[in-house]
Amino acid sequence: MKKELIGLFNRSLSVRAGMSAGLLGVACLSSPAMAGGKIEIDDTKWVSVGAGLRAQYESVEDGADNGEDRSNDFAVTNMRLYMAGQIHEYIKFTFNTEKLDGEDVEVLDAIAQFELSPAFNVWAGRMLTPADRIEMSGPFYALSWNQYRQPLYASDQGGEAGRIGRDEGVTVWGKLGKFQYAVGAFDGLEGGANESDNLLFAGRFAYNFLNMEDNPGYYTSSTYYGGLGNILTAAVSFQTQSDGVGVAGEAGDFTGYTFDVLSETVFDGGNVLTIEGEYKDFDADYTLATPPVAAGDCFCLFDGTSYFATAAFLFGTDVGPGKFQPYVRYVENDPSDAETSDSTEVGLNYVISGHNARLNLNYVDGDANASGYAGSDVNALTFGVQIQI
C-alpha cells in the first residue's frame, strides 16, 4: 500500500511522499475513514492529503561590499499542501498548493490523470513541464540544498510562461522496459512576443542502464539514498517555442536542451556514492544581456551553455536517528554574450527519513545564479530543515 500511495502522490516542485521507509504507514479500512492521511471510499476510490515544508537560516556576505555587510535571514522557502485521489481504476487527480516566502498561497499543480498502463498515460492541467533532472526533482527531491544556480527554463521565470516549473498543458508519458519518456505541449510564453499564440513543446527521454528509478509519473529524484540499489540513468530533455522570447513586435525563438546523468552505487555497510551531472545548452534570440530595441518589458532568456557536477557520499552507519551525507557541487555558466560565472557548494545532509525528513548545512561561494548571468560574488552559510508527510 505504501508503494501504491507513493506512485500516486505527486509533488515538486513536487507531489511525492518519498522513497524511504516510514512514509505514511497507511492502513486499509473497509469503510470510509481517515488513516495516515488517506480516506478509503471503496475499492477504487480514495483521497489522500499531505504537506511539505522547507525552512532555513541564511547568512550572506556580499563580496562587492568588501565583507563589511552581512545579511542574516530566517525564511520559509517552501510550504506545500498536497492532495491526490482516485475516482476510477484508470482516472486520478492531483491538487497541490505552494506558498513561497513572502508570497500568497497559489495553485502549484492541478492535474487530471488518465493512467491507462505503464507504457501510456495522459496528464492534463497545470503540471511540471518535462525538463532536466534538477527541475523535475524540485527542491524537495534534490541532492543539494541550493541547486538553482543554473539558467532555468521559461516556466521558472516568474509567471509570463508558467511558474515554479509548472505550466498549463498536456503530457503523455510512460515506461517501455528500461526506457522512460515524457512529451508535452504547453502554453509557454503567453502574450508579449508570442502574438501568434504558438505553443511550447517539451520532452524528456531517459534510459536506466542498471536498476529502474521509481518515481510518481515522469518525475525524478537526485538521490535515493541507496534505497533502489545501483542506478545509472542518462537522459536528454528539450523545450522549444517559436516567438518564445522578446517583446511584442520584435519576437525571437527559443530552444533549449539538456543532457543529465545520475549514478548511485551501494557498497557494503550501506554506504552510498551518488554522482549527478548535467550539461545544458540554451539558444535564445533575445537575452538579458542583449534585449530587443523595442521599448517595454522583454521576456529574455539565457543564451549559452552551462554545466554542473555533484558528488555525495552517504555513510551507512546511523548516528542518532539519521545518517550523514556530505557533498560538493560545482556550477559553471557560460553565456554567449557575457562573462562566465561559477559557484561551489559544500554541504552536509543529515538524512533521517529520506526526502521526508532531513537537515542540511551548506556553504556556497561564487557569482552563479538562476539567471545564468553573473551576479554579485557572494558567500553564504545556510542551515535548512525539510519535512514531508
Q: Provide, rounded to the nearest whole percent, the portion of the chain with pLDDT above 70.
A: 89
The pLDDT of 54-66, averaged and rounded, is 80
Among 345, 340, 344, 353, smallest CA distance to 388 is for 353
**What is the average pLDDT value for the chain, to the nearest integer?**
89
Query: Does position 294 have pLDDT exceeding 90, yes or no?
Result: no
Q: Which of the 8 DSSP states describes residue 213? A: P
* pLDDT tens string 171-220: 999 999 999 999 999 999 999 999 999 999 999 999 999 999 999 999 99
Q: How confident is the model at residue 369 (pLDDT cuts 50, 70, 90)?
A: very high
Q: Is 322 left (phi over 0), alpha (psi -120 to 50) or beta?
A: beta
Among 221, 132, 115, 238, smallest CA distance to 174 is for 115
Using DSSP's 3-state secondary structure scheme, residue 5 falls into helix
Q: Is 220 left (phi over 0), alpha (psi -120 to 50) or beta?
A: beta
Q: How confident is the model at residue 292 (pLDDT cuts 50, 70, 90)?
A: confident
pTM greater than 0.75 (yes/no): yes
pLDDT of residue 319: 97
Q: How confident is the model at residue 65 (pLDDT cuts 50, 70, 90)?
A: very low
| Cα–Cα distance measured from residue 353 to residue 350, given in angstroms and rounded to the nearest whole number | 9
Query: Does position 35 have pLDDT exceeding 60, yes or no?
Result: no
Cell of 105: 498561497
Q: Provide, rounded to the nearest whole percent, the portion of the chain with pLDDT above 90.
A: 79
pLDDT of residue 63: 57
pLDDT of residue 293: 80
Query: Does position 25 have pLDDT exceeding 60, yes or no?
Result: no
Which DSSP helix (H) or strand (E) runs through 353? none
pLDDT of residue 144: 97
Q: How confident is the model at residue 291 (pLDDT cuts 50, 70, 90)?
A: confident
pLDDT of residue 1: 38
Query: Does position 87 have pLDDT exceeding 90, yes or no?
Result: yes
Query: Does position 59 have pLDDT exceeding 80, yes or no?
Result: yes
pLDDT of residue 68: 57
Query: Does position 115 have pLDDT exceeding 90, yes or no?
Result: yes
Residues 6+ apart with CB under 8 A from 179: 205, 206, 207, 208
The pLDDT of 113-137, averaged and rounded, is 97
The pLDDT of 254-269, averaged and rounded, is 97
* pLDDT tens string 326-335: 999 999 999 9
CB 126 within 8 A of CB 107: yes
DSSP class per residue in 49-105: EEEEEEEEEEEEEEGGGTT--EEEEEEEEEEEEEEEEEEETTEEEEEEEEEETTS--
Between 166 and 43, where is the model more confident?
Answer: 166
185 DSSP β-pair partners: 170, 201
pLDDT of residue 16: 38
Among 168, 314, 180, smallest CA distance to 260 is for 180
11 DSSP β-pair partners: 15
Query: Does position 127 have pLDDT exceeding 50, yes or no?
Result: yes
